[in-house]
Structure 1
Amino acid sequence: MAAPGGSTATVLVADDDPLVRTVLRMALTGMGCAVIDARTTSEVIHLDPAVSVDLVILDLNMPGGTAVESLDALSARVSAPRVLLLSDEDAPALLDRVDGFARKPIELADFTRIVRSLLPDGSGGSSDRAG
């Protein structure tokens, strides 16, 4: 997937489950995305500000902090990425802070469709959050 200007879209996969990270990485790289990983909330919070991220796939429950702390850090970035929250439980209190929500386990076709709608490649609109 290309970001504006023809560059590759970068996706941060933030999940403490190595199998989930691997499967999502494979799906995203198959879509042409560059992928970086975070295993803990702390890794999300301390992500190098020089690293530009277009989309974050965020697990609701990770060690090292809360999803709210991750969302606060992501929204404070110079260019706030869009966020797809993944969880095996509902998170109604956070839905107004994210761009999409999907329940685990997610079918690959559904995941791909949601990601395409959130990436800034022309089919998903811009990376600016509406609202």
Structure 2
Amino acid sequence: MADPEPTDIVVLVADDDALVRSVLRMALASRGLAVVESSDVEETGRAAQAQALHLAVLDVNMPGGSVLDAVAALRASHAHLPVLVLSGDMSAPAELDNADYEFARKPIELDDFLERVERLLSPTRNGSRP
């Protein structure tokens, strides 16, 4: 099978676990997506300011702040950025009750992960998101 055509779509993968970042990066790259990585909340904010992002995948627990801090940093630069929050907890963190994001429990099956990514990126691929 041929490799997918690379796209200009950029996904931020923010997780303090290098192995998780690597696995998610490889899965996303297999779909032709460009990936930017960060390992803490501060780095996530810098990446959001420096890149034109189309999706963010955030671990719920990262050094340097809360997941709410990470979402706020992302949304400061990208107001309508879709966010997928990953956590080993059974449910989404209470502090995100009013945030616009999608939640998935870790460990996440790669097929489920990629399906969610495709769904979250569908407005971008169809040209309806800035």
Q: TM-score, normalised by structure 2?
A: 0.84
Per residue, is there more helix in 1 or in 2? 2
Equivalent positions of 1:1-131 (< 5 A) are 7-47=7-47, 49-78=49-78, 80-89=80-89, 90=91, 91-119=93-121, 120-122=124-126, 126-127=128-129
**What displacement does 1:99 show?**
2.7
Name stretches of at least 5 consecutive residues in structure 2 with no aligned partner: none
CA distance 1:59–1:127, change in 2 (3 Å): farther
Deviation readout 1:87-113 (Å, 9 max, x if unpaired) = 011224414313311100000110010
Task: Give the number of equivalent residue pairs.
Answer: 123
4+ residue stretches of structure 1 with deviation over 6 A? Answer: none
Indicate the SS of the match to 1:45: helix
Give the superposed CA RMSD: 2.3
Q: Indicate the percent of aligned positions where both proteins have the same amino acid.
A: 42
Name stretches of at least 5 consecutive residues in structure 1 with no aligned partner: none
**What displacement does 1:121 show?**
1.2
Q: TM-score, normalised by structure 1?
A: 0.83
Give, in whole Å, the separation in 1 of the partners of 2:84 and 2:62.
Answer: 15
